[in-house]
Amino acid sequence: MSILQKLVLASGSPRRIELLQQAGIEPDRVLPADVDETPLRAEHPRSLAKRLCKDKAEKALTSLKSEEDYAPAFILAADTVVAVGRRILPKAETIDDAVNCLGLLSGRSHRVYSGICLITPGGKLRQRLVETRVRFKRLPREEIDAYVASGEWRGKAGGYAVQGLAGSFVVKLVGSYTNVVGLPLYESVALLSGEGFKAHQHWHAARS
């Protein structure tokens, strides 16, 4: 008799849910883990991404310990950081945040780091870090203002959503596109599969 596998996504991001669904994986539960995302003094962007995804996974694990149904679940967490050099850009919450981020990214290359963390039903913790290089075209102020008016930037690392209007800003992208959206799919599915999660078990029904 096979054990029913359960997957908890420690994120409330609609983009991460959609990306998992794109890979044929439906989380059994979405459990946003609220952690302090303030970078430590002199913390490197890649270190921040790794630390925060681990914090989110461990917080979700603590929340589930009192729930019998989810005690043996796989827990997947992720965090995405956008940086220019060592400078970490915020998740834009205000118009000023968005304008400042887009002004900094205009005509330049930046890096997007995503840390992914998996805690297995047996308590093993596995992590991966994925890096993508992105170059934006030069953005005139009127284009920045028009993008800000769209509202797509709200809550987005670096003040943009590559899967939306800002896709037209990208001159070059080297690495994982889904990483820039918010969850590197290849690495996430490989991490799950490597720890025994049957990521492909529902594919036969995906088109029914």
Assess contact for 110 and 173: CB atoms under 8 A: no
Q: What type of residue is 121? A: P
Cα 172 from Cα 14, distance rounded (Å): 25
Q: Which of 79, 96, 97, 145 is catalytic?
A: 79
Any catalytic annotation for residue 55? no
> Given the structure tokens 């915020």, which residue do they identify?
90
From the list 64, 66, 53, 80, the residue with the least C-alpha distance to 31 is 64
Residue length, the chain? 208
Assess contact for 112 and 131: CB atoms under 8 A: yes
The tokens for 168 are 């037209």
Q: Report the catalytic residues.
A: 79
